[in-house]
Amino acid sequence: MMTMTQRRIEVTIAGQKITLATSVEHEPLLRSACQLVDDQIQLAIAGGNRSLERATMMAALKLAGDLITAKETPQEIPQASPTAVPDNSAEISRLINEVNTLEDQVDALLKTLSLPGSPRPIAP
């Protein structure tokens, strides 16, 4: 059951229309994530992957590698006095939760994404 702040949006990934539930404030991020996933799948297809399932897996591996690299790469913090730097730990926690939610949604989509005409989930 969706709450009052949630809505359903329709996106297209790998040529397939998908309806997702999201909150109004997270919709732009989810749409951006869907576009990024679709772009990576299209790149994998353009790179010679003829199977949509294989292209999707290659895109997922590319995005997972990017995420791991981003998590492992120390972020440069501008030099400033401690009083000039606000405590962003709540915002960082919120963003981490958002990324985790998006990863779960992508995982769920990858499990159900199949070739047109063959509605079968991708085997784990």
* Total Cβ atoms within 10 A of residue 7: 13
Contact (CB, 8 A) for 44 and 58:
yes
What CA–CA distance (Å, rounded) separates 81 from 86? 10
The pLDDT of residue 101: 81
Give the up-direction half-sphere exposure of residue 68: CA atoms within 13 A in the CB hemisphere.
6
Summarize pLDDT for 17-61 with one digit per residue, the tens. 999 999 999 999 999 999 999 999 999 999 988 899 999 999 999
| pTM metric for this prediction | 0.56
Question: Which residue ranges make up each domain of the chain?
Answer: 6-71+97-112
- Do residues 86 and 94 make contact, with C-beta atoms less than 8 angstroms apart? no
Structure confidence at residue 33 (pLDDT): 94
Please say if the pLDDT value at position 14 is more than 80: yes
Q: Mark out the alpha helices in the chain (DSSP H runs).
A: 27-46, 52-72, 89-112
Give the pLDDT of residue 118: 47
Nearest to 41 by CA among 23, 32, 53: 53
CA 10 to chain centre: 15
Q: Could you tell me the sign of the dihedral formed by the alpha carbons of 91, 33, 60, 43, in that order?
A: negative
Contacts of 34 (CB under 8 A, 6+ apart): 11, 13, 18, 20
Percent of the chain at pLDDT > 90 equals 45
Asked whether the predicted pLDDT for residue 16 surpasses 70, the reply is yes
d(Cα 63, Cα 80) in Å, to the nearest integer?
33
Mean pLDDT rounded to a whole number for the chain: 81
